[in-house]
Structure formats: C-alpha cells, structure tokens
Amino acid sequence: MAISNRLCNATTFWAEIPWDKGVVIQIPPDGMIELPYHQMEDFLETKPGYEEVKLLMDTLGLFIADPTKDYDEQALKALQACIKARTDQYTASATILRSERAAAGVHDTEESITENLRRLGLVTFKEKTDALVEREKIYSGLLGTRAEAQKGKPKSFNPELTVILTSGMPKEFPTKIAKKLFMLEHPEDVQEDPAAPVAPPAPKKVVRSNVDHGQPTG
C-alpha cells in the first residue's frame, strides 16, 4: 500500500478523533485533511496499537488515501467497513443491555427496550448507520454504472508518464522521475517513449543530372 498523509471521510457526517492533550482531529463530510507527520505516524499499520486505531477509523468511515488507487473505490470500501463496524457495535450493545436487564429480573417490552436504547444514544447511532447503508447502495450503483460504461474501452495512458515496452505493452508510471529511473535502469526493456519529440523527416536528397534536358545532346 502506498502511503499518503491524507485522512479521508467517506460518510456524510463530521468525524472527530480525540488525539492527544485535548486536540481533536476533525474531518468534514466527504472531505479530507492532510495530517502533519507527528499525527500521521499514529495511523501507520506498523504502529503499536494500530488495531484500535483501525477500528476507530472503520467506525467513523475514515481511510488513509492510497494515491495509486481509485479514490471512489477506496471510499466505497471504507463505507462498507464503517457499516459493518457500526452494525457489530450496535448489535453487541443491544445484546448486552437486554442480557443485563434480564439478569436483573427486568422483563422489558419492545417499547421500553427502544427507550433504553434511545437513552444510550443507540437509536440515533442506528439511524445514522441505516443512512450509510442507503448511501452505500447508491455509491455501489454509481460505480457499477461507471464500470459498465468503461467496459470494452481501451485504457488511456498519459504519454508523459508512459513507455512502450519491448513486448509492445505500455507501462505507466506515477511520476516522470519514476519513468526516467525505469528507463535508465532497464534500457533493454524500453522500446519507445511516447512523450519523446518526434524527429522531423530528413529532407529528400535531390540528385542533379549532368544532362540538360532542355537542350539536344548531339
């Protein structure tokens, strides 16, 4: 996975992460922020305790953008992870509540259970999750429509970032420097650089005859 410092929000709700010493990281709906390094390092998979950070990100619908991948596909994946995390949390909380009250000898009606869930903020939590489920359906449909529209179309390449390999296949790079580095390290694999200026055709060589075609030769 490529690493960027962009923390993105795939939901329609503001996301807030209590970070450190009263600092709260806020990410707007359908938006992103660029994290400074001292914050970004806490979101790396190699950081101890990343599992808890990942669960929090999933619950909030957040993801670190991978610049080498399609943004919409990453956002949809984050949205699906968000729905799963929130559904699991709601189910677990509701089950614990019912079990605790039953163990105390309280026999709740559905109305009283709903009221208890509302008091704990779980009804609002579920309503937001239900809204995300609807969004996921729409998002999936739009991506499916895009995929269908692009089916059969040849992939377009940026000529400034592309080389033609000796196999005849194009290879696109994320930057011009990456492309140049590949060409320097693997000159035998490169057949053509589509961005290279086309040399003008060589002027035709005119062959002059010693024979004056306008005068008789004898």
Distances from the Cα of 17 to the Cα of 32, 47, 53, 202, 216, angstroms: 13, 17, 10, 65, 99
| DSSP conformation letters of 19-55 | EETTEEEEE-TT-EEEPPHHHHGGGSTTSTTHHHHHH
Q: Where are the alpha helices (DSSP H) in 47-203?
A: 50-60, 71-103, 110-119, 122-150, 176-185
Of 132, 148, 188, nearest to 165 by C-alpha is 188
Per-residue pLDDT tens, the chain, 218 aa: give them: 557 899 999 999 999 999 888 899 999 999 999 999 889 988 988 889 899 999 999 999 999 998 888 899 999 999 999 999 999 999 999 888 888 888 877 777 778 888 888 988 999 999 999 999 999 999 999 988 877 776 666 667 788 888 888 877 788 887 889 889 889 988 998 988 888 876 666 666 655 655 555 554 44
The whole-model pTM stands at 0.67
Under 8 Å between Cβ of 4 and 65: yes
Quick one: tokens of 197?
């200026």
Alpha-carbon gap, residue 56 to 14, rounded angstroms: 14
3 state SS of 172: strand
Alpha-carbon gap, residue 100 to 120, rounded angstroms: 14
